[in-house]
Structure formats: structure tokens, C-alpha cells
Chains A and B, each alone.
Chain A
Amino acid sequence: MNDQILQVNNLKTYFFTASGTAKAVDGVSFTMNRGQIMGIVGESGSGKSVTASSLIRLLPKTGSIVDGEVIFDGHDMRRIANRELLKLRGSEISMIFQDPMTSLDPVFKIGDQMIELIRTHKNLSQQEAYRTAVEMLHLVGIPEPESRMNAYPHELSGGMCQRVIIAMAISCQPKFIIADEPTTALDVTVQAQILGLLKKLRDEMGVSILMITHNLGIVWEMCDTVMVMYGGTTVEYTEMAKLYANPLHPYTWGLLDSMPRLSAPPVEELKAIPGTPPDLRLTGGCCAFYNRCPYMREICAKEVPPLLEVEPGHLVACHRQNGDKTLVRGEVNQHD
């Protein structure tokens, strides 16, 4: 049995709106192994959430996957029938969303919501499903799980709700969890508890986790591999330690520089990336980052840079990074 659980090749998801076609995901490729935690980092509108939703075809009516290939554990996710897909979602693949308070139905008790999910996917009696649900709540560290089964979502705090959602996500022993900004709505001390929990799940149950985040600190703490996204495309994809030690794409440099660091000595001014993220209706045909890039050359505005393996296991999409180390971080652009 091979170790690979997910393979994504050149995925393109477009949204067809009245004001034009938004290329939310425009050529994303990566692979994930069993038991791995992979991070997708990017700013809002970089396509990281749409990438995740595309994997399980959870897209609104205006959006569709126009090209590429998603292979999950031998299933071709683009061609699989809807009935099969419904079986996979929730049992083999589950998803944790950003806002814990709105992911649960406010008019049902959390116990009933969990039992419904478990009985949809597993052939269990009401009592067996109840016991599984209590066990799962216990596993994610909710005190007095039996009495919490009768609670409504509004009676729980944000951190507790996120634990319930994680309990639901793991209740059918999935192989793969998509966590879309699972801690963004939470406070840091609660965030630390939730991240610890996700890590424990990986270590004990061997699930693969796709973590979507905009916080590089979470990547350093959690992930094995990282993909940096910008304007719907993969700009850099490598192992976490390699990205930290030797980032190669100018956007990654800008991202690292613009974050204030707690351990660093005080600086007068942060190195911000000038400009704003691109309008996704206008991208394509060029490097999405070219108009904000300090190392821009003529070719950047004319051609889409291919994702190249410039070092073993280190993929970068940049016209100026083709492996011969011609571009140095911080150099002055002599183009103009």
C-alpha cells in the first residue's frame, strides 16, 4: 500500500460571476502522505479555502472545477458520483471550519447533531451511537461529556464548540481532515489547546491534516510540509524546515518580513509589501505577484512562471528562481 493519500495536479477552480470570471484557484499541485500535516498559507483571497473546498467538491453554484485532477486514496474526486462522494464526506474526509459558533445548528442539541452524523455513516443503533459520541467528546477534552450532550451550541464557549466540531470530525475515524483556519476565531490560550489536540489526533490516530492558516507561527508549530499561495497559485511548496531555513519566492520573503516578531529586537519600521493583493478576475497570463514584487523583470508581466523543483523537494514558481541562485534576498533590482 502506498503512503500517498492525496494527489492534486494543476487544480483550477473558477467562479463565474456577473462581473467576470474569478480565477480563485489557478493551477495548484501538491501531494500529501498518510499521517502528515500540511499547511496552506496565504492572505485572504489567495485561494486557500477554495482549494480545500474543491478537494471535496464543496463549492457554491457559481464555482466549478475547470481543470486538473484530485486523487484521494484511489478515488478520482472530480469524476466520482455524488452518492459516493456523500459517503466519503464525513466518514473518510471531514472538514473543520473557521467559525465554530456558526458551524453547529443552533436549534439542535450537540448530542443529537453528533448522533445524526454517526448514524448517517455507520450502521449503529441509537445507544451505540450515543456511546460513541460521548467517547469522542471525552477524547477532545470536554469535561462531563454526558451532560454536554444535552447542551445547545449557544451554551458553550467558542473553544468548547470547536472541540465539539473536532469530535464530530473524528467520530467516523476519517483518514483525512481539512481544517480551514480552525483557530482564527479563538483566543491564543484556547488556540494553543486546540492545536495541541489536533497534533495529538495525528500522533494517536494517524490522520492526515490539511491546515489552512494565515499565521506562519502555526505552520512552524504544526506542519510537516507547507504550500504558500498567492493570487490563486502555488508560489512555493516544500518541507516546513526548508521553507523556514531557505525561503526562495519573493512573496514568501515579503510575508516573513512583514510579520512583527516577538523574539526580534525592536525595529523602527516593518518591511511591508507595497500595494494590495490582485483582483482575481484580472489574474492569469502573468505572475500574479509581479506588480508588487521588488525583483520584477519584463518576463514576469508576460508569462505565468512554472512551478519548478529548484532544489530537491523545494518547488518554486518564479521566473527569477530557476535553481542557479541568481536571485538574492534583499538585493536591489537593477532592472529599472
Chain B
Amino acid sequence: MTEGKMAGTPIIRIKNLKKDYKIRSSKLGQPPRVLHALSGVSLDLFQGETLGVIGESGCGKSTLGKCLVQLTRPTAGEILYNGQNLCALSNSALKPVRKELQMVFQDPYSSLDPRFTTKAAIEEPLIIHGLERDSKKRRETVLAMLREVGLDVQHMDRYPHEFSGGQRQRINVARALVLQPKVIVCDEPVSALDVSVQAQVLNLFSSLQKRHNLTYIFISHDLSVIKHISDRVAIMYLGTVVELCDADEIYQNPRHPYTKALLSAIPPDSPFEKSQKLTLSGEIPSPIGDLVGCPLAGRCPERMPVCSQKRPALKEISPGHRAACFLYHQEEYVEE
């Protein structure tokens, strides 16, 4: 399945994407410090695939999603979509592209306007982009979209507070889908939902992808969700992608020490699964300030002297499997 999708040309190419935030110094008169939310991410996204992005809080996965739909403008790097570099486009030139790149957010409670009925919320993008000027036809489009996500005509004139979390997330999906996008960035769309409802929404995402040939970037901190929904998985740590491979590979053959630690930290599938615990000491270092060397160097159990001097590049270590670790390639590193 993945092989066929990989053969196509990438729909989006991300090249060396960087996003810095300036943080006001706590002392008066000192220059602001810099937080590197993304420090050089390069990824290709193929037509019709689901790319899972996983990492702990603060690793830059949401920033990556927001940069991709240009909700925040990256500091440096390129995002190539249809031959255009999105980072270089003006806001007005971006408007037609925005229609094709949509986003579903994490919190189904705060991402809907409490004063908008379902119909108003779903038809708003149509009005903004001037796609359907006739209000009767717009109502039909909205209804079709509601049925698509498993809701019906009775839900049309209700307000967000009348819905459960799962239903609200369905409305959010409908709102993204109504513009017939090519790519949807899903930023933790199921983390606020209960397991039984989470499964329903995950199934909805899969069936919509098949019907509309959608490409997803699926951001989550839950590895089992990511493995279930994704074709390929990118593991992020402190603003960089440390490993990129097929979803099955990640469980069967993780290579990067961080991925191994992440896998062994996840509670087991059964009480009899006693895995060797590979625990990382300490916590994620602060992304503020310039970091020399591999971001994991301070916590890594397989640290080598070179790790604290140079930053390893994301290189292919076996077909379709990339890792950024000096254990697998000594000579490739990122010029700072």
C-alpha cells in the first residue's frame, strides 16, 4: 500500500523549515533570547498518504502543522506546494491555496464558535472563499457534508454546547472538508476524546480519506493511534525529525535511541509483555538558546563524544527508513 503511494511525486515538499520565537529576557536591557521551535525540518508528503507526526509536548509538532497551513509564518526554509513556495507568498496570494490546505484542531470545545449554529459554522468557509453564493445550494452542500461525517439534518440548527465532544469534532471535520481540500493537517484531533468515541472518529478519518483521496498530516502524542492511522511516521524531538519510516517499521524495528525509549515508555498492550525498559533520564531540555550537537545528547544512553559536538543529519539508513543518529552514519551532519 505504502509502496504505491511512495512512487508518486510529493504533493508537499518541506525543505529545512525553521521557526524561531523571540522571548523577552527577564532582565531589563538584555537582548531577547531565541526559542527554536523548529530547527531544520525536511519532509516530503505524498499524495494520498497519512504522515503521522509524533513527539512529546514542546517538540514542535504543532508548530510544524501550523507552518504548513501558514497559520504562522516560518522564519526560514521552504514549503513547496504545486510548484509555489508558500512561505514566499503574500497573504492575498495565499488565499486560494488555503482552500486546499485545511486544519482540524485538538480541542473540539474551543475550536467552534459557541454562537454559531452547525450550519453557520460549516458554511462560513464557503462564504469566505465565495464558493457558493446561492444560500439554498449552500444549505444543500452543508447537509451533504454533515451526512458525510455521520451527522444529519436535525443537527443543522443546533449550537456547539448541544453536542458531545465526538460530535463537535465531526463538525470540525465537516468544516475543513467543505472546501474540498487536498491536504488536511490534523493536530491531535482525538486526544480530547474518550477511547470509545476516539475509535469512531479515527474510523471517520480513514473512510473520508478513501472517498476523497485526501492526504493527512496526523499529529499526535499517542503512538498507538499514530501507528494505526499512518502510512509513514515522523518522530520529532526538540524541533527536529529524528526518525522517519513506515508505520510498521517503527514498532518492529526502531533505530533511533529516542524512538526506542519512547516505545519502551508506552504502557504495554498486555500484562505479560515485559519489555526491557530503556528509560531516558531527566526531561526534555529547553529549546531556548542555541544547542550544539544532537538534541538528545544529554539524555541518550548510547551517547558518544561526537554527539555533543555535531548535529546528525536525517539520512537513509535502510530503504525507506531515515534516522538522525551517529550510530548509523558517522560522517553526515548538519552545518550549523
How long is the Cα–Cα vector from A204 to B53 in the complex, in angstroms? 39
* A261 interfacial contact with B, CB 8 Å: yes
How many residues on the B side are at the interface (Cβ–Cβ under 8 A)?
Answer: 43
**Closest residue on chain B to residue A258 by CB atoms:** B199
Cβ–Cβ contact B271 & A244, under 8 A: yes
* A159 interfacial contact with B, CB 8 Å: yes
* A274 interfacial contact with B, CB 8 Å: yes
| CB 8 Å contact bits of B305-326 with A (1 = contact, 0 = none) | 0000000000000000000000
A contact residues vs B (CB 8 Å cutoff):
43-44, 157, 159-160, 187-193, 195-196, 214-215, 217-218, 220-221, 240-241, 244, 254-255, 257-264, 266-274, 276-277
Residues of B close to A221: CB separation below 8 A? 267-268, 271
Residue in B227, B262, B267, B269 with the greatest tally of chain A CB atoms within 10 Å: B267
**Closest residue on chain B to residue A274 by CB atoms:** B200
Residues of A close to B72: CB separation below 8 A? none
Residue in A262, A266, A270, A271 with the greatest tally of chain B CB atoms within 10 Å: A262
16 of the cross-chain contacts (CB-CB < 8 Å) are A43-B197, A160-B283, A187-B57, A189-B56, A191-B267, A192-B264, A221-B268, A244-B271, A257-B199, A259-B195, A260-B225, A261-B269, A263-B273, A266-B228, A269-B207, A272-B199
CB-contact partner of A270 in B164, B228, B270, B279, under 8 A: B228
Cβ–Cβ contact B203 & A270, under 8 A: yes
**Closest residue on chain A to residue B164 by CB atoms:** A276
Cβ–Cβ contact A258 & B198, under 8 A: yes
A-B contact count (CB 8 A): 119
| CB 8 Å contact bits of B178-200 with A (1 = contact, 0 = none) | 00000000000000001111111
**Closest residue on chain A to residue B166 by CB atoms:** A276
Q: Nearest-CB distance from B231 to chain A (Å)?
A: 10
* B94 interfacial contact with A, CB 8 Å: no
**Closest residue on chain B to residue A158 by CB atoms:** B57
Q: A262-B263, A263-B269 are in contact. List 16 more A-B contacts (CB 8 A).
A: A189-B265, A189-B283, A191-B265, A193-B279, A217-B269, A221-B267, A221-B268, A254-B196, A255-B196, A257-B199, A258-B195, A260-B225, A262-B251, A263-B270, A266-B248, A272-B200
Cβ–Cβ contact B248 & A43, under 8 A: no
* B82 interfacial contact with A, CB 8 Å: no
Q: Nearest-CB distance from A292 to chain B (Å)?
A: 8
Cβ–Cβ contact B56 & A262, under 8 A: no
Residues of A close to B196: CB separation below 8 A? 43, 254-255, 258, 272-273, 277
Instruction: Enumerate the 10 nearest inter-chain pairs by beta-carbon distance, A residue then B residue, closest first.
Output: A217-B267, A272-B199, A258-B199, A260-B228, A192-B265, A43-B194, A187-B56, A273-B196, A270-B199, A272-B200
Decide yes or no: A260 and B265 within 8 Å by CB, A188-B56, A273-B196, A273-B199 being known contacts: no
* B206 interfacial contact with A, CB 8 Å: yes
Cβ–Cβ contact A157 & B265, under 8 A: no
CB-contact partner of B271 in A159, A196, A220, A269, under 8 A: A220
**Closest residue on chain A to residue B271 by CB atoms:** A220
How long is the Cα–Cα vector from A255 to B224 in the complex, in angstroms? 15
How long is the Cα–Cα vector from A264 to B270 in the complex, in angstroms? 11
Within B285-317, which residues are at the interface with A (CB < 8 Å)? Answer: none
Residues of A close to B263: CB separation below 8 A? 262
How long is the Cα–Cα vector from A309 to B299 in the complex, in angstroms? 49
CB-contact partner of B266 in A255, A262, A273, A277, under 8 A: A262
